[in-house]
């Protein structure tokens, strides 16, 4: 008889973005010209100054276990970064370095949640938040947002959700957001902070896309608004997106010392320290940043403008203009209702688009918003142009079939 899996793990579904990327890669490897808008990682190489630091660490045989929470010079570099860029003052004991921001979030959730606790999250949400919450034995609770609200929760929607869910313990806030690209403004964060303080809600503030903001928009960390808010916030960040270092695996959490120490104990028994070479490379990434980082941001900004302009030329497509991250999430509801090919949900839409037009998009249901699809513009302008052309052809085919 097969071994029965735990009830907890049976709730965990594969990551749709990773599944899609694997399928697109398989098609590509078999010679098919797939344009993959599914990927959630920069298509740039890690900047040279960071790679040089890794070579140096390897040559110096910096290859052993390090302190579980991360080497002190890295935690100091993170403290300096948080002070310099976010106006936040932390000590190294308030920092936990983990193998990716994903791991940071899981460590924190496991450290603060008991079973029956509820974790609030605006919807659409990043695909992993609900499963990370379930892994911590807690319950995800969604606060729906609409395109008309710029995909952002208001303070009153948050308070309504807290009052309706008496076991609400934490809120996961992701600004700039994956998948919508929405960025919270100062006044919006102030109003949310007021509610969190009033109801003693912990904010897990995922700021992994903070450097990728456009049109002069400024990223603000909710922790920086007041000492009362800082006490109730764990800031999550990392190097994957801003420094094109997804494969190096390094993220961090900054927050109250007792929460960070508890999250550190979780990590100690689960994964232990981050790869020693990666840690050294990240000290340099943060302390000696060169112009390559800003160049990547500018390139993303150009691509966003291009993709948004192309998508808004397509009739009946509703499109929110993102202010950050590298995603655009247009609504395709009109086409789902106006075709005779049986394409009535975004999942079917994406499956046929990939099979027939060789374009990989992620269906919005994975992010909690049916009737939408997510484009990642971590892709060249040429690919974006060709991919949107195929996407528009498919939409035209659907409309013509009615």
Q: Does 101 bind ligand PLP (CB under 6 A)?
A: yes
Residue at token pair 């764990």: 234
Q: Which one among 118, 132, 178, 205 touches ligand PLP, defined by CB under 6 A?
A: 178
CA 343, 346, 352, 356 dihedral sign is positive
Q: Which one among 206, 210, 299, 310 touches ligand PLP, defined by CB under 6 A?
A: 206
Q: Closest distance between ligand PLP and the C-beta of residue 120, in Å?
A: 16
285-344 binders of ligand PLP (CB under 6 A): none
Burial class (CB in 10 A: 0-12, 13-18, 19+), 10: exposed
Pick 40 or 322: Cβ nearer ligand PLP: 40
Q: Does 264 bind ligand PLP (CB under 6 A)?
A: no
Q: Which one among 57, 82, 90, 126 touches ligand PLP, defined by CB under 6 A?
A: 126
Residue at token pair 């070579």: 55
Distance CA 353, CA 390 (A): 9
Residues touching ligand PLP, count (CB under 6 A) = 13
Q: Does 102 bind ligand PLP (CB under 6 A)?
A: yes
CA-closest candidate to residue 323, choices 399, 179, 214: 214
Q: Does 153 bind ligand PLP (CB under 6 A)?
A: no
234 Cβ neighbours under 8 A, 6+ residues apart:
108, 202, 203, 204, 205, 253, 254, 255, 256, 259, 260, 263
Binding window for ligand PLP (CB under 6 A); candidates: 188-196, 238-246, 258-266, 334-342: 238-246
DSSP 366: G
Q: Does 100 bind ligand PLP (CB under 6 A)?
A: yes
Distance CA 377, CA 398 (A): 24
User: For residue 11, what are the CA distances in angstroms to 3, 106, 364?
Assistant: 16, 16, 19
Distance CA 346, CA 335 (A): 10
Binding window for ligand PLP (CB under 6 A); candidates: 94-102, 131-139, 147-155, 268-276: 94-102
Beta bridge partners of 269: none
CA-closest candidate to residue 362, choices 122, 127, 64, 105: 127
Residue of closest CB approach to ligand PLP:
100
Pick 12 or 197: Cβ nearer ligand PLP: 12
Q: Does 174 bind ligand PLP (CB under 6 A)?
A: yes
Q: Does 238 bind ligand PLP (CB under 6 A)?
A: yes
Binding window for ligand PLP (CB under 6 A); candidates: 100-108, 111-119, 197-205, 273-281: 100-108
Residue at token pair 């009830």: 7
Binding window for ligand PLP (CB under 6 A); candidates: 31-39, 95-103, 342-350, 362-370: 95-103
Binding string to ligand PLP for residues 6 to 45, with x set by CB under 6 A, is what? ----------------------------------x-----
Q: Does 376 bind ligand PLP (CB under 6 A)?
A: no
Q: Closest distance between ligand PLP and the C-beta of residue 398, in Å?
A: 29
Q: Which one among 66, 205, 221, 246 touches ligand PLP, defined by CB under 6 A?
A: 246
228 Cβ neighbours under 8 A, 6+ residues apart:
197
Distance CA 48, CA 218 (A): 27
CA 165 from centroid of its chain's CA atoms? 25
Pick 160 or 275: Cβ nearer ligand PLP: 275
CB of 258 within 8 A of CB of 101? Answer: no
Binding footprint of ligand PLP on the chain (CB under 6 A): 40, 100-102, 126, 174, 178, 206, 208, 238, 240, 246, 251
């Amino acid at each position: 008889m097969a071994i029965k899996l735990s009830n907890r793990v049976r709730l965990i579904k594969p990551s749709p973005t990773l599944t899609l990327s694997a399928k697109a890669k398989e098609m590509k490897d078999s010679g098919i010209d797939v344009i993959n808008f599914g990927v959630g990682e920069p298509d740039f190489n890690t900047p040279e100054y960071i790679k040089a630091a890794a070579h140096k660490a390897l040559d110096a045989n910096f290859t052993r276990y390090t302190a579980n929470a991360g080497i002190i010079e890295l935690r100091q570099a993170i403290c300096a970064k948080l002070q310099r860029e976010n106006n936040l003052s932390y000590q190294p004991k308030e920092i936990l370095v983990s193998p990716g921001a994903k791991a940071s979030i899981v460590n924190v959730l496991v450290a603060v949640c008991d079973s029956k606790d509820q974790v609030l999250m605006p919807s659409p949400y990043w695909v992993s938040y609900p499963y990370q919450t379930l892994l911590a034995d807690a319950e995800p609770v969604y606060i729906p947002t609409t395109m008309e609200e710029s995909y952002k929760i208001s303070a009153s929607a948050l308070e309504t959700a807290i009052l309706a869910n008496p076991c609400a313990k934490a809120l996961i806030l992701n600004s700039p957001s994956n998948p919508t690209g929405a960025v919270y403004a100062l006044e919006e964060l102030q109003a949310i902070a007021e509610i969190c303080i009033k109801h003693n809600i912990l904010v897990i503030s995922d700021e992994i896309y903070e450097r990728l903001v456009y049109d002069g928009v400024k990223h603000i960390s909710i922790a920086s608004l007041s000492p009362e808010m800082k006490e109730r916030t764990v800031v999550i960040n990392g190097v994957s997106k801003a420094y094109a270092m997804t494969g190096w695996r390094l993220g961090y959490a900054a927050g109250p010392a007792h929460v960070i120490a508890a999250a550190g104990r979780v990590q100690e028994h689960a994964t232990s320290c981050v790869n020693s070479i990666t840690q050294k490379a990240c000290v340099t990434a943060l302390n000696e940043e060169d112009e390559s980082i800003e160049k990547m941001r500018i390139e993303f900004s150009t691509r966003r403008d291009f993709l948004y302009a192309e998508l808004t030329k397509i009739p009946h497509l509703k499109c929110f203009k993102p202010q950050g991250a590298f995603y655009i999430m247009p609504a395709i509801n009109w086409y789902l209702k106006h075709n005779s090919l049986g394409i009535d949900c975004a999942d079917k839409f994406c499956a046929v688009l990939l099979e027939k037009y060789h374009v990989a998009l992620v269906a919005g249901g994975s992010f909690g918003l049916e009737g939408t699809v997510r484009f990642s513009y971590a892709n060249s302008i040429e690919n974006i142009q060709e991919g949107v052309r195929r996407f528009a052809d498919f939409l035209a085919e659907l409309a013509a079939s009615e």
